[in-house]
């Protein structure tokens, strides 16, 4: 089983739509959770951290369910510039040092 | 806004050659990382580095790989004898403390021919 699983998509949505991505992780000892976005052939860029209580940053809302080992990202009022691959990331801290474990990403295409 | 920088942006090398990929982490960050991404695949952890020592490495990071912080600003990844399967995007990342978010550089695209 993959450590972090995501639907690869692509999700094709019109501008203004609301879209949701889901992610599951297998290691119950995972400690921190993030969403990164990656544009084609570019570096991953931190979009937001994900907290147990859920958190919002403008049009983006992230949720974490530790019991189900499930993370979600909701994007409201999609913009053309939101077109990218969204990476679900969890951290392991086996040795006291954090390493990021990435999902394969979900591709989003926002069309006019 | 401070950022991680990497050089070169693209490196082409022949199989068996040594390459050194360079990174300048964000200046007040103490933890440094290398990741790689083979085209079309996920980003994979290679190694983490703190206090001039490797703190963790993955099974990918074999004896062909080494990391160094030769001075107060640079952080390098050396591949001693490149193989075709080393062709990938290599990303450097840094974080202020181990539990904080990691920030990535723009990457070096390594092509081994």
Convert the pLDDT of each residue in A68-79 to its tens digit: 999 999 999 999
CA distances from A102 to A76, A80, B35, B37, B69 (A): 24, 24, 10, 10, 26
Length of chain A: 112
User: Among residues B43, B36, B25, which one has the least CA distance to residue B94?
Assistant: B25
pLDDT of residue A95: 59
The answer for residues whose C-beta is within 8 angstroms of residue B50's C-beta and 6 or more apart is A97, B30, B31, B32, B98
Contact in structure between A22 and A72 (CB atoms under 8 Å): yes
pLDDT of residue A28: 84
Mean pLDDT lowest among A39-43, A54-58, A91-95: A91-95
pLDDT of residue B14: 97
* Contact state of A104 with B42 under an 8 Å Cβ cutoff: yes
- Chain A residues within an 8 Å CB radius of B107: 42-43
- Chain A residues within an 8 Å CB radius of B44: 102
Region A53-80: mean pLDDT is 95
Instruction: Tell whether the model's pLDDT for residue A31 goes beyond 90.
Output: no
Distance of CA B111 to the CA centre of its chain: 15
Site from B87, B104, B111 to mutate, A interface, most A CB atoms within 10 angstroms: B104
To the nearest whole Å, the CA of B81 is away from the closest chain A CA by 25
Q: Which residues pair with A71 in a beta bridge?
A: A23, A64
* Contact state of B98 with A44 under an 8 Å Cβ cutoff: no
Q: Which residues pair with A100 in a beta bridge?
A: A91
Length of chain B: 113
CA distance A107 to A57: 20
- Chain A residues within an 8 Å CB radius of B31: 97-98
Q: Between residues B92 and A8, which one has the greater pLDDT?
A: B92
Contact in structure between B25 and B80 (CB atoms under 8 Å): no
Whether the CB of A41 is below 8 Å from some CB of chain B: the reply is yes
* Contact state of A42 with B35 under an 8 Å Cβ cutoff: no
pLDDT tens, per residue, chain B with 113 residues: 789 999 999 999 999 999 999 999 999 899 999 999 999 999 999 999 998 999 889 999 999 999 999 887 899 999 999 999 999 999 999 998 766 788 999 999 999 99
Give percent of chain B above pLDDT 90: 82
* Contact state of A42 with B106 under an 8 Å Cβ cutoff: yes
Instruction: Tell whether the model's pLDDT for residue A94 goes beyond 70.
Output: no
Residue with tokens 């050659």: B17
CA distance B37 to B89: 5
Instruction: Tell whether the model's pLDDT for residue A45 goes beyond 70.
Output: yes
Contact in structure between A70 and A100 (CB atoms under 8 Å): no
Whether the CB of A40 is below 8 Å from some CB of chain B: the reply is no
Whether the CB of A9 is below 8 Å from some CB of chain B: the reply is no
């Amino acid at each position: 089983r993959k450590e972090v699983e995501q639907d690869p998509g692509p999700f094709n949505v019109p501008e203004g739509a609301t879209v949701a991505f889901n992610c599951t992780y297998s290691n119950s000892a995972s400690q921190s959770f993030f969403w990164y976005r990656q544009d084609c052939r570019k570096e991953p860029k931190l979009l937001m951290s994900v907290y147990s209580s859920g958190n919002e940053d403008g049009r983006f809302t992230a949720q974490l369910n530790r019991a189900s080992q499930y993370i979600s990202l909701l994007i409201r009022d999609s913009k053309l510039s939101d077109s990218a691959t969204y990476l679900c990331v969890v951290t392991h801290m086996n040795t006291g040092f954090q390493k990021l474990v990435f999902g394969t990403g979900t591709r989003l295409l926002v069309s006019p | 806004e401070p950022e991680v920088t990497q050089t070169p942006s693209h490196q082409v090398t022949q199989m068996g050659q040594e390459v050194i990929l360079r990174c300048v982490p964000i200046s007040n960050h103490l933890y440094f990382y290398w990741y790689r991404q083979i085209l079309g695949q996920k980003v994979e952890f290679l190694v983490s580095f703190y206090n001039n020592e490797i703190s963790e490495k993955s099974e990918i990071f074999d004896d062909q790989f080494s990391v160094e912080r030769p001075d107060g600003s640079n952080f390098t990844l050396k591949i001693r004898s490149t193989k075709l399967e080393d062709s990938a995007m290599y990303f450097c990342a840094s974080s202020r403390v181990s539990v904080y978010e990691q920030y990535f550089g723009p990457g070096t695209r390594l092509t081994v021919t």
